[in-house]
Amino acid sequence: MARLVVISNRVPLPSERGAKAGGLAVALADALRPGSLWFGWSGRRSTRGSGTTHIQRSDGITYATIDLTEADYRSFYVNFSNGALWPLLHFRLGLLDFKTEDYGGYRSVNRQFAAALLPLLRPDDMIWVHDYHMIPMAAELRALGVTNRIGFFLHTPFVPPSIFNALPRSGELLNSLCAYDVVGFHTHSYRAAFLDCVAENFGVHPDPDGRFNWRGHAVRAIVDPVGIDADAFSEQAITAARGSDARLLRDSLSKGGLAIGVDRLDYSKGLINRFEAIGRFFANYPQHRRQVSFLQIAARSREEQGSYQRLRRELDRIVGDTNGRYSEFDWTPLRYMTRAVKRDTLAGFFRLSRIAVVTPLRDGMNLVAKEFVAAQDPEDPGVLILSRFAGAAEEMTEALIVNPYDSDEIAEAMHIALAMELEERRERWQALHEKVRTSTARQFCSVFLNHLGVPDTQPAKPRLRAIS
């Protein structure tokens, strides 16, 4: 079998296994077999930058990383990846901050990555590149003469041409995406948006299977939703729910129930709207006061950027206002923490929760929704409230689907969830659980690698737009 080479912005090094496992590491666990190579940034900044490739090996897998200079880190990661691409791909043009020098740094770092990876590659390697930080990677590798099969998966949403084309140099990025053999998305709507960009910008109309030719290169866009190992997560939840952390949480609730939200501290997660909804919930449905507490875990991220600092200040204000208005001496309506919590501990917390509120304004998939479902007790399951703009909503239609911009609608959904009869909760959970057990992380890897490993024998012929 061909060796799998994974490329991502950050590499989960075996020396860092004490830290919380990232979502990508969990998703790719089944694909990374002995002999695989994972390449990316070390997370370190140094004066020498990418002058040296650092190698670690564990369980037969090789982890190769390079350092970045402070200037490269700023332009590539902070300013362009997260200051321009992230807001663009989450439909937030008002937060997009483009500077030509940052775009140049983004391309330069991808070029450095490609040059550092080149000596490690073998002729039959299959290369799988992940996420928006690495869009130009295939183009840079092709420029160095690499002819291997290269696939790309985008873990964020993709946007229609009317939004994508607002980004300066968007045509160059779209051209870079077309240097891949396979381009993967979580949902049909994301893939459709990408293909619409190809059609509008390049005049090439893909076939119904997402295949097209661009400048002599055959490209296929696929839909491949990421999942979890539901059975393993369920076992983890059962064990964790009996553990000390879950017991402390349960005891602190007294006789009340638990509602939960788990997100990164990010403006795309809809946290301001959600916190406002919690206040509306306790105002509009006073019968639930003292009967339920909401726990929001929002691990800090990207704290260098002003938009995140402003978000945190606003959330602190809303929490203080809500708790000041509704708290009792022995009951707090909204508990809020910005420290990361281990995944197994979260599994136990999910199992204790009567509802989960997953209401991002936009999200690529959102595995919290799937983890909550997997963690539930089949005899007495909780209810999932899910944003219509999360990628997971395309699959998880039995959740209570809400508009995350409507705080009153979220508040009403919380009331409906808490008042829902056991029979309906079981019916909704059973349908959701079947989907979560079917759409697994293993299937995600298998589908993508099957497409990447087998070139189309009859690539689609380009259908060019008529020019008047």
Decide: residue 44, CB within 10 A, 0-12 exposed, 13-18 middle, 19+ buried: exposed
- Residue 32 to residue 9: CA distance in whole angstroms: 17
Q: For the chain, first and last CA: distance in Å?
A: 49
Q: 91 in the Ramachandran plot: left (φ > 0), alpha (ψ -120 to 50) or beta?
A: left
Count the neighbouring beta carbons within 10 Å of the beta carbon of residue 311: 18
Does residue 321 carry a catalytic annotation?
A: no
β-strands 53-58, 61-68 pairing: antiparallel
The CA-based dihedral angle spanning residues 23, 29, 30, 35, taken in that order and rounded to the nearest 10 degrees: 140
User: Cα-flanking dihedrals φ and ψ of residue 419, to 5°?
Assistant: -95, -5
Element (H, E) at 46: none
Q: Token pair of 79, please?
A: 């300013």
- Marked catalytic residue, from 90, 155, 186, 433: 155
Does residue 155 carry a catalytic annotation?
A: yes
Q: Residue 186 carries which side chain, given as an amino acid letter?
A: H
User: Cα-flanking dihedrals φ and ψ of residue 421, to 5°?
Assistant: -70, 155
Contact 352, 249 (CB under 8 A): yes
Count the neighbouring beta carbons within 10 Å of the beta carbon of residue 224: 22
Residue 37, C-beta contacts closer than 8 angstroms, at least 6 positions apart: 3, 4, 5, 6, 61, 62, 63, 64, 120, 125
- CA atoms within 13 Å, Cβ hemisphere of 170: 22
Q: Rg (Cα) of the chain, in Å, rounded?
A: 23
Residue 174, C-beta contacts closer than 8 angstroms, at least 6 positions apart: 164, 197, 198, 201, 202
- Residue 371 to residue 388: CA distance in whole angstroms: 18
- Residue 262 to residue 370: CA distance in whole angstroms: 12
- Marked catalytic residue, from 131, 363, 433, 451: 363
3-state class of 417 per DSSP?
A: helix
Instruction: Give the residue numbers marked as catalytic.
Output: 155, 363
